[in-house]
A and B are shown apart, each in its own frame.
Chain A
Amino acid sequence: MATPLTATVDLVARFPDSVSADARPGYTGFIVKKENLVEVATAIRDEFGYDLLTAVTGVDYLAENKMEVVYHAYKTTGGTGLIFKVQVDRVDPVEVPSLYDIWAGVDFQEREAYDLLGIRFTGHPDLRRILMWEGYDGHPLRKDWKEPFFEEEAKPFKSRWPDGQHTFAENKNPFRDNLSFPAGFDPEAYQPENEDDLYASLERFRSKGADDALKTDHIVVNMGPHHPSTHGVLRVAITLDGETITGLKPVMGYLHRNHDKIGERNTYLQIIPYTDRLDYFNSMSNNFGYVTTVEKLMKIPVAERAEYIRVIMAELSRIQNHLIFIGMLMNDLGTMYTPSLYAFEERELVLDIFEAVSGARMMCNYFRFGGVVRDIPDFALQKIKDLVYERLPSKTDEMERFLNENEVLVARLNGMHVLNAEDAIRYSVTGPVLRAAGVPYDLRRADPYSIYDRFDFDVAVRYNGDMMDNYLIRFDEIRQSLRILEQALKQMPEGPINSQKPQYQVRVPAGEAYGRIESPKGELGFYVVSNGKPNPYRYHVRPASFVNLQAVEKMCVGAKIADFVALLAMLDIVMGELDR
């Protein structure tokens, strides 16, 4: 873990003129000249074999008057990653060449950087705002942009103590609400932006029939944001030729809660409960990813017992997530309620453990830098053992008996193509969907974090890449998680649960870190830049759902509209994580 991430390749030797090592203290990776970015990136993919580009994000270095785009590339065979960056002057228009043609997986992430930081990616086929709406004033993550309820640069705010008279934030804003309009704005004269660009982008896959063919018109269907089976407030614009999907674009941002911006105002500790609310099914995994990243920056060890507790919680969370996935998939397929009611029953028992340990069912806020909040109480430990050794294995079997051979389900899932390995990698898809396509890429093995290298387990993998495999791989993963849990429960030592003293103000040395874990939905990454102050300079989440959703267009074009809901369910998206 201590080895520098760039030790594996020497990019400077290959491109002496256009690449230099990033020499800032605490930083790693390479800085690539903007003009040569596409050339270098192609070499990184083809010559050095970094086929999976996981994270793309921008950083606004206001003081240096620079904008930086950071790329994290990995190999699907495992190992450490390669970080390369592009720096451009912070003068509008800020332009960086798009890498869409090399890794299609940069699609949404480049759009996000454009939306929130105003970096234009030249050559991107569909560069529109993604989280905010067209016509929104400003790029919120720029350091000189202030939200309407802006109080101070960083928390804690001075108005809370010692003279903390309660006031509503509304009273401080000239518009008496969470609003900000440009000076001289006249709402009556305003013409809202239309969505022509969105509908135009749907035309990409439109079949160009022969001239003498019967002229038919395509219908545009908007699903969501209020739709029972889009797993939250996702909207999807679909063009249909009869019942076949010919074009599809997800529209998101309906739950964009400004996680990154709020995170940059928070102290390091204050971010932990906010991460709970990313993927709200797996708050334990989110905590895990975030504290691992910050621990990397702080260079502190984790208490031995706490490592085991973390693994136990994360794996319980994974089991619970996959059970809900199965239940919800059945809901989407029309088996209303019974399987999901059974799944929720087991979930309640897992949540009882979380509640006993952390205090809350869903928003656990359980991990701290260097360990966890408190030890597992004895009765809760007994409950975990009861579930792991007895209840969960038998209930998983029961679920399989209940569903797997059901003829209707088999007819619905078997042979229904989701993604092949090549496309999955191209679109940066990670998690069970990638593994069901035959790529045994699991971060617990490929780039072990925490203590996962101590456990004996198999990476669940299936090779057909159809819906049946995507469905069955969830059962495989539950079984493997149970295996890890059994070992963890046996090996767990006694001892302190935190290597640090409880403190609410942690010191984080300047530098950057990218931490990633295998969340139940895929790779969950956190990119944190510290400048030595109590709050992060840049805080970015690389959510699994968001990146995986890029493949949905590829998955669905050519399929029937009736299968769309099931295909979307395969990706197991969660809107809190997708929109943040």
Chain B
Amino acid sequence: MYGKGILKGLSVTWKRFWDTYTEDISWVLRGKKRYNTTEGIAHRSSKDTKGIFTVQYPEEQLIVPEEMRYVPFLVYDEAEEGKKEVRCTSCGICAKVCPPQCIWIVRTNDPATGRPVPVPTEFYIDMDICMNCGFCAEYCPFDAIKMDHDFDIAAYDRSVYNLEKLLKPASYYASIRPENAAREDEARRAKEAAKAAKAEVKPAA
């Protein structure tokens, strides 16, 4: 019969249409909320998703995996009295490894001796050149530059970020990437402990 194939195809669309209602009803019957809840969004991104697939940004947001990367930012540790201890030592590895070369770093020199001090005077990233590749974060030996999850950075002008705009606290980093932050903190503490142990041995020797 001519038209059988079309009807067969339409049965698929019909099933999909029908699924939107059965799925919603089944959530209501189970006493669960399908929309605006983490559980609902997670289910919509899982293998069992059927029916409505939309995640209604900005009211709802997709659950981002920890490794998600958008643009880079610099991490600082919060010291007392709101002082910012910038982790960056201006070693320049990120600027060297950056594929589109969108990182500019001004190294600080001690005014008295003229020797370099491990802290950047200025740090620029041209966000409109950055290709979000994540190399800077991957190869930074000091866990100082990391990739952000925040993608809501559209602007009415070109975005060249300076040091002030790039800095974000370590607590923020720990909140977006808890596993990575914990692992890195652990490694850093171990390293410092080893260093301290070495230093203790040295004067004795």
Contact = CB atoms under 8 A, between A and B. Distances in A.
Interface of A: 155-157, 159-166, 266-267, 269-274, 276, 338, 342, 345, 348-349, 352, 355-360, 363, 365, 373-374, 377, 380, 383, 386-387, 390-391, 398, 401-410, 502, 504
B95 A161 contact: yes
Contacts of B69: 359-360
B203 interface: no
Contacts of A373: 138
Contact of B107 (A162, A272, A383): A162
B47 A374 contact: no
Interface string B12-49: 11001000000000000000000000000000011101
Interface in B72-103: 90, 92-93, 95-99, 101, 103
22 contacts: A160-B92, A160-B95, A160-B98, A161-B95, A164-B106, A165-B104, A266-B99, A273-B131, A355-B65, A356-B65, A357-B67, A359-B147, A365-B133, A377-B65, A405-B8, A405-B9, A407-B2, A407-B3, A407-B6, A409-B5, A504-B93, A504-B96
A308 to B, nearest CB: 19
Given A365-B133, A504-B93, A359 B2 contact: no
Nearest to A339: B9
A504 B9 contact: no
B28 to A, nearest CB: 23
A410 B2 CA distance: 12
Nearest to B108: A162
A166 B165 CA distance: 15
B65 A162 contact: no
B143 interface: no
Contacts of A160: 92, 95-96, 98, 101, 103-105
Contacts of B104: 159-161, 164-166
A514 to B, nearest CB: 23
A342 B9 CA distance: 13
A345 B124 contact: no
Contacts of A391: 47
B9 A402 contact: yes
Nearest to B15: A398
B178 interface: no
The 7 A-B pairs with the shortest beta carbon distances in the complex, nearest first, are: A405-B5, A164-B104, A161-B92, A273-B133, A162-B107, A356-B65, A386-B47
Contacts of B12: 398, 401-402
Given A163-B107, A164-B105, A360-B68, A406 B5 contact: yes
Given A164-B103, A266-B99, 16 more contacts: A155-B96, A156-B96, A160-B98, A161-B90, A164-B95, A166-B160, A270-B99, A273-B99, A348-B53, A359-B67, A365-B134, A383-B46, A398-B12, A406-B8, A406-B9, A407-B6
B8 A156 contact: no
B105 A161 contact: yes
Q: How large is the interface on B (under 10, 10 to 19, 20 to 34, 35 or more residues)?
A: 35 or more
Given A164-B95, A365-B134, A502-B138, A383 B47 contact: yes
Contacts of B16: 342
B115 to A, nearest CB: 12
Nearest to B90: A162
Contacts of B189: none
B139 to A, nearest CB: 5
Contact of B47 (A159, A390, A401): A390
A163 B68 CA distance: 31
B52 to A, nearest CB: 11
B105 A162 contact: yes
Interface in B141-189: 147, 160, 162
A387 B105 contact: no
Contacts of A407: 2-6
B13 A402 contact: yes
Contacts of A272: 133
Contact of B45 (A269, A352, A358, A403): A352
Nearest to B1: A407
Contacts of A348: 45, 53
Most buried by A among B12, B47, B49, B139: B47
Contacts of B133: 272-273, 276, 363, 365
Contacts of A161: 90, 92, 95-96, 103-105, 107
A377 to B, nearest CB: 7
Nearest to A345: B53
Contact of B13 (A276, A338, A410): A338
